Amino acid sequence: MQPPQDDDAVDLLAPVPAVRTGGFVGYARVSTKGQLLDRQIHALTEAGCIRIYADKKSGKNAEREELWKAFDLLREGDTLVVPSLDRLGRSIQDLIAIVSGLRKRGIGFTSLHEALDTTTPGGRLIFHVFAALA
C-alpha cells in the first residue's frame, strides 16, 4: 500500500483503484418499512457483488449500521456498488465526502442507475463535475 499523497499532487482523473484486485460490495437502502429491497438486491447481485449490506432507514439517519459494516469490509482494490446515488448519501456534500473517503483508501465506487464508476477516468470526471456543482 502506498502512503497517502497530498491532494494537490494526485491525478484527479486517475481511476481508483488503479487495478481492481478486490471484489464488489453492495449497499442497498429503503426509507420506510413498507418499501422492499428486492429490486435493489437483484441489481447488486447482477452487478457481481460478493456481499450485500442493506438498511431499512431514512437517508436522514446517520446511524446506518449496515453501511458502516460495508465500509469495514471494504479493502484497497474493492469497489462499493450502490443501486443509485440517493441510496448512499443524504446530500451531494455527503456523497462527495463518502466517495472521497473511499478514494483515499484505494476503494472504487459505482452507482448502477447513474452509470457512475470512479474506477474509470470518465467516472472520475463526472464525479468532479458533481463536486464542483455542490
Per the annotation, the verdict on 58 as an active-site residue is no
Chain center to CA of 97: 11
Among residues 31, 84, 91, 111, the one annotated as catalytic is 31
Which alpha helices (DSSP H) does the chain contain, by range?
Answer: 38-46, 65-73, 92-104, 121-133
Residues 6+ apart with CB under 8 A from 75: 22, 107
SS3 54: strand
Query: For the CA atoms of the chain, what is the radius of gyration?
Result: 14
Residue 124 has phi, psi (to 5 degrees) of -65, -45
Which residues are marked as active site? 31
